[in-house]
Structure 1
Amino acid sequence: MSLAPRAVLVRRTTEYEELVARHGTHGQAAFFLRSRGRDVEELADRHHRTRRTLAEVTSAIPPTWRQAQVERADLDRFLFAPEDVVVVVGQDGLVANVAKYLAGQPVLGFDPDPDRNPGVLVRHRPVDAAKLLPSATTAATDELTMVEAVADDTQRLVALNEIYLGAAGHQTARYRLGLEDDGGVVEAQASSGVLIGTGTGATGWLRSVWQERSSGLRLPRPTDERLLWFVREAWPSPATGTSLVAGELSASSRLSLTVESERLIAFGDGMESDAVELTWGQSVRVGVCRERLRLVG
């Protein structure tokens, strides 16, 4: 007999909860913000909207399903099961945060604050939960492309939006960069790091770099099996070049980087606290990930 689905609700601590935890009481948090020209009621209102959304979505879970909740800070310690339906309540970035821990489970995103959030990944309103959840295991999904980085010591990093390779603190990184499907051309570089992004990431950091460069590269769509990459602020010198600073990766191509600094890091989707560390002489290959995020449309 197959197990009933388990609804895993993913949320993050609200700004209001963080303030109250830091200052002890609502009143102390209000005093702290008031001294800086802010009103705690704005944050409290967003907090209460999030709590109401969580309650409404939770009440819509079919009674025969099992349930679990996990905070964003605990995702790396939570074990997702094959029969899970992942229910994200929060901002678009929370879907990206959970994506790398999944292996094909369907994801439903509910937006508690549509006036503030773009709703690219948290596409649904709480009122629709009762209709959407019972059919989530069989519903049509968008298969969103992800990006992966694999180091020569088998460390692996997966991201939905983008992966950054560079120095901690975004200082000068030194490395050798190459395209494996371009005749083995390799260039020594000194830069602020390399950004490799997906079509989903093309609504965020990747797009900002693309736009700043006035790049002629075509931005991918979220379901396209291709990536764009950009070297940030490459520095020309007698020992370093600037000829390989942007490009496209197909599903079968890989960008390779060999570290020539004491320490570089790779992190995904802005989560620098969950970084892969790379030392002198190590190499890492970046390309399209074989897994996809299954987002219920």
Structure 2
Amino acid sequence: MTLAPRVVLVHRNTEYHELLARHGTRGQAAFFLAGRGRALDEVEQRHRQAEAALTEVAAAVPLDWRRAKVERGDLDRFLFTPQDLVAVVGQDGLVANVAKYLTGQPVIGIDAEPGRNPGVLVRHRPGDTAELLRLAAAPGAGGALEERTMVEAVADDTQRLLALNEIYLGQRGHQTARYRLAPPGTAGEAQASSGVLVGTGTGATGWCRSAWLERRSTLALPAPAAPELAWFVREAWPSPVTGTTLVEGSCAAGEELALTVESDHLVAFGDGVESDALQLTWGQTVRLRVAGERLRMLV
């Protein structure tokens, strides 16, 4: 007997949920905001919009299919199966949050707040869900899967981190980080900086693009599906023992960017999630490269 498809609805708590969790009641949350010249109305309106989108997407799942729902904060404890269809209802960043927990399952990005999100990864509307699920469940029925490159960091003690947008390496508090950076084909350079960003083509629309624009770089940023990474050193500081000549570049598939720690403690985290970080100590080396895993987005 063949099991019916399982749809996993991925969402995140709204700002309204967070205010209630912090202040206990709606009245207390409204009082807190009023004291700062703000009103709860906009937060409530966005909350209702997000809840309505999630409800509409859930209602589009066929009655004879299995379903599950997981909030962003529980992703690290949720068990995805290879046969799942994943519907992410929220912002672009939520797709990045879930990507590292997947192993090739089709992902449908659904924009819960059209007009507020860039729509790079959440391209679809809640009303399209039924048709999108039909396409995702029947390969070859007309739906196209776009594969996006991911980046991995592997430390010499086997710690491993996977990300869709970018990986940041540096001090947790963004103070000066000291390390030796060795891009492909170079002898390397000792550096002191605000950290290193290593991003994919998807990340080239976010934090890496910010670094690229700020320095007016001429480096060609990779496309989302290209098996290539771009890297940037943030605010490298010259001194008698640290240099600033190796501050940006790219890594093709099969190449690695190596970083050897020369501080007491550095971290590496992906896609802005600082709570899930590699812990690196003096003398350790971490290698960054194109990951074998890819995110498969239904377009």
Settle same-fold status: TM greater than 0.5: yes
After the TM superposition, which segments of 4 or more aligned residues of structure 1 sit over 6 Å from their partners? Answer: none
1:224 to partner: Cα distance: 1.1
Distance 2:262 2:21 in 1: 42
Partner of residue 214, structure 1: 216
Alpha-carbon distance between aligned partners in 2 of 1:221 and 1:26, rounded to the nearest angstrom: 45
Partners of 1:109 and 1:124 within 8 A in 2? yes
Q: Aligned-pair distance for 1:25?
A: 1.4
Deviation at 1:3, TM superposition (A): 3.0
What does residue 149 of structure 1 align with?
Answer: 153
Secondary structure class of the residue paired with 1:170? coil
- For 1:251-280, what per-residue CA distance to the aligned partner results, in whole angstroms no more than 9, with x for missing partners? 111000011111000000000111110011
Offset from partner CA, 1:224-259 (integer Å, 9 cap, x none): 111110111111111111111100110111000011
What SS is found at the alignment partner of 1:114? coil
CA–CA distance in 1 between the matches of 2:115 and 2:238? 45
Q: What is the SS of the residue equivalent to 2:21?
A: helix
1:173 corresponding residue in structure 2: 177
- Bigger mean CA deviation after superposition, 208-217 or 132-141: 132-141
SS at match of 1:50: helix
Cα separation, 2, equivalents of 1:263 and 1:156: 17
Shift of 1:14: 0.4
Distance 1:294 1:203 in 2: 18
Q: CA RMSD in A?
A: 1.0
Aligned with residue 158 of structure 1, among 157, 162, 165? 162
Q: Deviations over 1:19-41 (max 9, x none)?
A: 11211211211111111111101
- Displacement of 1:4 after TM fit? 2.3
Name the residue aligned to 1:32.
32
| Identical amino acids, percent of aligned pairs | 67
Residue of structure 2 equivalent to 1:75: 75
For residue 247 of structure 1, what is the aligned residue in structure 2? 249
For the 8 Å contact 1:199–1:222, the answer to whether it is kept is yes
| Residue number in structure 2 paired with 1:204 | 206
2:244 is the alignment partner of 1:233: no
Specify the SS of the correspondent of 1:206. helix
Q: Which amino acid aligns with 2:182?
A: G
Rounded to whole Å, the distance in 2 between the matches of 1:253 and 1:49 is: 44
Q: Which amino acid is 2:170 matched to?
A: G
Q: Which runs of 5 or more structure 2 residues have no equivalent in the other structure?
A: none
Cα deviations across residues 90-111 of structure 1 (Å, max 9, x unaligned)?
1100000000110000000111
Distance 1:197 1:21 in 2: 34
Q: Any conservation in 2 of the 1:62–1:134 contact (CA below 8 Å)? A: no
Could you tell me how far 1:217 is from its partner in structure 2?
Answer: 0.6
Query: Are the counterparts in 2 of residues 228 and 249 from structure 1 also a CA contact under 8 Å?
Result: yes
Paired amino acid for 2:221: L
- Give 5+ residue unaligned stretches, structure 1: none
Once residues 157 and 2 of structure 2 are traced to their aligned partners in structure 1, the CA distance between those partners, rounded to angstroms, is 38
Where 1:169 maps in the other structure, the secondary structure is coil
Matched position secondary structure for 2:27: helix
Equivalence for 1:22:
22
For residues 268 and 5 of structure 2, what CA distance do their matches in structure 1 show? 34
Pick aligned residue for 2:190 from 168, 188, 191: 188
**Number of residue equivalences:** 295
Please tell me the residue identity of whatever aligns with 1:21: A
| Aligned-partner SS, 1:273 | coil
The 5 A counterparts of 1:111-130 are 111-130=111-130
Matched position secondary structure for 2:275: helix
- Give, as a single letter, the amino acid of the residue that structure 2 aligns with 1:64: D
Asked if 2 retains the 8 angstrom alpha-carbon contact of 1:95 and 1:109, the reply is: yes
Of 244, 262, 265, which aligns to 1:263?
265
